[in-house]
């Protein structure tokens, strides 16, 4: 395959600076936890239910327990207080202890100081072992399914369903799989990322999508498993682990056999105005869970090009890739689990825009050799003209095939008109399949001109990325976000949603899952 002759020393410098940038943030992460992480601990220990409340949708038991706990007790961690409760009621399940706390039979705020660490660990061991075993079983189930139906064609064809009704989504997802899709992404209901609890049950009336709920995950995964067995081809499932409940949704995805989660270290900060400290702490724990579950994360740098012009800002995308990669490695993710995202979003009126898009796609492939890169289709400059849209998608697919992108989200000719119909997806798959097949070996026959426009463009983007990272390094990552260095979206360090959900850990803070999930130094 053709490659660009990049300066590897500059690539190594970018990685080194990104590691240096992440280091102080990681120190902050290790000193703090959040209410969402504490709720995740309860979910991992098996507390997944909800309670019906008057004039409200069902509210998760994990939230109800955290709401009951005096904030002054939170720095020890919810696990410590659950151990104290179980010490008094050793024969009760976590659901029964939770019920007693919620109805007031156990006052969690007058429980004695938890036993010492060794006793606390012993008390919680059955719940913790069950939680880890469930994640491991999920990972092994997916490995068996992939091994049994190991027929991977790259790029993987990634299609979206977004009806707002999970049962209708299932019909459309199965139809897409039968037409050739390899990955189904279920779009999430609008603004779920701003909810500080996870909705419960099957969604039948979502807005722009369905809620990321444990029941929706289960329904879709079951349908795709059945389709996989019938087709003899494993169909992968994607959803979102982002927003104020990022760690909890990661736990749900790990328990319900999801293959991919959209999980970015900065997306929520930039595009949902979620506090940056909260997001950095949450993304770490969510990625610990994802790593153990064998899930591949997908990052959201493609979104940068919806607010910042692509030709002028490709270096922002590459800089963010280096930063996302370092955060992911801190959580123990292997290269093969870090699905960095980018997009074909340049203004088509720019002369040689195809060459510049090809340069960017080839450079990302060359820099991140083992990563399952996700390539997003053009959307920003589509106007509802289906002929123009079809041509743009065809050029995007040619680049995806030529540069061996791992995952290709297929564009729709009817983008900017309506939610895709079944026929829209069929036509998109037919077009992509034709291009992938017709040009399968084309770029094995070609080489890039080392002094040509494409190679010079790639080297310029790499140079700009290195300078950009050096500028960020001179001030620190959080300050650079405050100044709008990413996606031209400035965010205040102590602003945004969710800041009140962070707390500093006490010296005796206890999270029993960290010893099972954190990578060894």
223 and 170 in contact (C-beta within 8 Å)? yes
| Rounded mean pLDDT, 491-520 | 96
CA pair distance 518, 239, nearest whole angstrom: 23
pLDDT at 95 over 80: yes
| pLDDT at 269 (0 to 100) | 96
10 Å CB burial of residue 351 (0-12, 13-18, 19+) is exposed
pLDDT tens, position by position, 411-459: 999 988 888 888 999 999 999 999 999 999 888 888 999 999 999 999 9
**E strands, 265-329, where?**
296-298
pLDDT at 84 over 90: yes
CA pair distance 68, 197, nearest whole angstrom: 15
| pLDDT at 518 (0 to 100) | 97
φ and ψ at 178, to 5 degrees? -65, -30
Characterize the bridge pairing of strands 32-34 and 502-504.
antiparallel
Cα distances from 388 to residues 47, 307, 311, 382, 392, in angstroms, run 51, 22, 20, 8, 6
428 phi-psi bin (left φ>0, alpha ψ -120 to 50, beta other): alpha
pLDDT tens, position by position, 1-53: 788 999 999 999 999 999 999 999 999 999 999 999 999 999 999 999 999 88
Which sign, positive or negative, has the C-alpha torsion 192, 195, 201, 206? Answer: negative
pLDDT tens, position by position, 106-145: 999 999 988 788 899 999 999 999 999 999 999 999 999 9
Q: Helical H runs in 343-438?
A: 353-367, 386-402, 422-438
487 phi-psi bin (left φ>0, alpha ψ -120 to 50, beta other): left
pLDDT at 323 over 90: yes
Q: What is the residue whose two structure tokens read 């996989």?
A: 228
CA-nearest of 214, 219, 229, 122 to 169 is 219
CA-nearest of 520, 518, 511 to 40 is 511
Q: What is the residue whose two structure tokens read 């068996």?
A: 144
CA pair distance 327, 284, nearest whole angstrom: 7
Characterize the bridge pairing of strands 341-343 and 50-53.
unpaired
CA pair distance 224, 407, nearest whole angstrom: 18
Instruction: Pick the catalytic residue from 182, 302, 393, 424.
Output: 302
What is the band of 357 on the pLDDT scale with cuts at 50, 70, 90?
very high
pLDDT tens, position by position, 174-207: 999 999 999 999 999 989 999 999 999 999 998 8
CA pair distance 253, 295, nearest whole angstrom: 8
CA pair distance 152, 472, nearest whole angstrom: 39
φ and ψ at 495, to 5 degrees? -105, -170
pLDDT tens, position by position, 212-236: 999 999 999 999 999 999 999 999 9
DSSP string, 113-130: PP--HHHHHHHHHHHHHH
Which sign, positive or negative, has the C-alpha torsion 149, 150, 153, 156? Answer: positive
What is the band of 276 on the pLDDT scale with cuts at 50, 70, 90?
very high
For residue 441, the SS3 value is: coil
Instruction: Pick the catalytic residue from 267, 356, 468, 485.
Output: 267
For residue 103, the SS3 value is: helix
CA pair distance 259, 5, nearest whole angstrom: 34
CA pair distance 320, 394, nearest whole angstrom: 27
Long-range contacts of 481-486 (CB under 8 A, 24+ apart): 481/266, 481/269, 481/270, 481/276, 485/316, 486/266, 486/270, 486/304, 486/316, 486/319, 486/320
| pLDDT at 361 (0 to 100) | 97
| pLDDT at 443 (0 to 100) | 83
Q: What is the residue whose two structure tokens read 């009951």?
A: 68
pLDDT at 521 over 90: no
pLDDT tens, position by position, 247-268: 999 999 999 999 999 999 999 9
257 and 234 in contact (C-beta within 8 Å)? no
307 and 488 in contact (C-beta within 8 Å)? yes
330 and 30 in contact (C-beta within 8 Å)? no
| pLDDT at 207 (0 to 100) | 87
| pLDDT at 52 (0 to 100) | 86
Average pLDDT of the residues of the chain: 95
DSSP state of 210: B
φ and ψ at 337, to 5 degrees? -105, 5
CA pair distance 160, 162, nearest whole angstrom: 7
| pLDDT at 108 (0 to 100) | 97
Characterize the bridge pairing of strands 56-60 and 50-53.
antiparallel
Packing angle, helices 35-44 and 117-148, rounded to 10: 70
For residue 188, the SS3 value is: strand
Q: What is the pTM of this model?
A: 0.95
What is the band of 242 on the pLDDT scale with cuts at 50, 70, 90?
very high
Active site residue 374: yes
Tally of residues, the chain = 521
CA-nearest of 432, 451, 307, 453 to 380 is 307
pLDDT tens, position by position, 148-173: 886 778 899 999 999 999 999 999 99
Instruction: Pick the catalytic residue from 277, 329, 330, 374.
Output: 374
| pLDDT at 306 (0 to 100) | 83
């Amino acid at each position: 395959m053709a490659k660009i002759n990049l300066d590897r020393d500059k690539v190594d410098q970018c990685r080194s600076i990104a590691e240096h940038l992440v280091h102080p943030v990681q120190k902050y992460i290790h000193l703090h936890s959040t209410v969402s992480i504490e709720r995740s601990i309860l979910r991992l220990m098996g507390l997944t239910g909800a309670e019906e409340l008057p004039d409200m949708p069902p509210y998760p038991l994990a939230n109800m327990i955290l709401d009951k706990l005096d904030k002054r007790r939170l720095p020890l961690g919810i696990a410590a207080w659950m151990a104290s409760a179980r010490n008094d009621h050793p024969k009760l399940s976590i659901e029964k202890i939770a019920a007693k706390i919620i109805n007031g039979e156990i006052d969690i705020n007058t429980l004695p100081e938890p036993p010492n660490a060794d006793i606390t660990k012993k008390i919680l061991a059955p719940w913790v072992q069950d939680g880890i075993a469930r994640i491991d079983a999920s990972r092994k189930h997916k490995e068996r399914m992939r091994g049994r139906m190991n027929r991977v064609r790259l790029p993987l064809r990634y299609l979206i369903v977004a009806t707002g009704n999970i049962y209708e989504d299932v019909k459309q997802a199965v139809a897409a799989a039968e037409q050739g899709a390899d990955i189904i992404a279920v779009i999430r209901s609008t603004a779920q990322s701003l909810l500080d609890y996870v909705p419960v049950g099957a969604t039948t009336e979502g807005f722009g999508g369905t809620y990321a709920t444990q029941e929706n995950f289960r329904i879709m995964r079951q349908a795709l498993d059945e389709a996989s067995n019938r087709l003899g081809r494993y169909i992968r499932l994607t959803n979102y682990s982002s927003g104020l409940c990022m760690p909890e949704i990661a736990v749900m995805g790990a328990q319900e056999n999801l293959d991919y989660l959209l999980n970015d270290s900065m997306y929520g900060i930039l595009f949902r105005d979620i506090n940056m400290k909260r997001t950095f702490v949450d993304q770490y724990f969510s990625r610990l869970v994802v790593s153990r579950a064998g899930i591949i994360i997908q990052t959201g740098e493609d979104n940068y090009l919806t607010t910042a012009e692509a030709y002028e800002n490709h270096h922002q995308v590459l800089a963010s890739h280096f930063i996302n990669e370092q955060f992911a490695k801190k959580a123990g993710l292997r290269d093969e689990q870090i699905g960095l995202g980018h997009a074909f979003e340049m203004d088509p009126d720019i002369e040689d825009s195809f060459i510049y898009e090809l340069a960017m796609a080839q450079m990302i492939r060359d820099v991140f050799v083992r990563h399952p890169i996700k390539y997003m289709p053009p959307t920003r400059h589509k106007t509802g003209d289906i002929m123009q849209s079809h041509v743009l998608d065809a050029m995007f697919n040619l680049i995806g095939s030529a540069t061996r992108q791992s995952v290709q989200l297929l564009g729709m000719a009817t983008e900017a008109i309506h939610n895709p119909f079944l026929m829209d997806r069929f036509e998109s798959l037919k077009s992509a399949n034709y291009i992938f097949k017709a040009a399968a070996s084309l770029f094995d026959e070609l080489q890039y001109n080392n002094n040509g426009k494409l190679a010079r463009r790639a080297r310029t983007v790499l140079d700009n990325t290195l300078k950009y990272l050096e500028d960020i390094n001179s001030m620190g990552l959080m300050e650079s976000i405050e100044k709008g260095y990413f996606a031209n979206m400035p965010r205040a360090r102590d602003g945004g949603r969710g800041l009140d959900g962070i707390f500093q850990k006490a010296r005796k803070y206890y999270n029993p899952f960290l010893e099972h999930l954190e990578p060894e130094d």
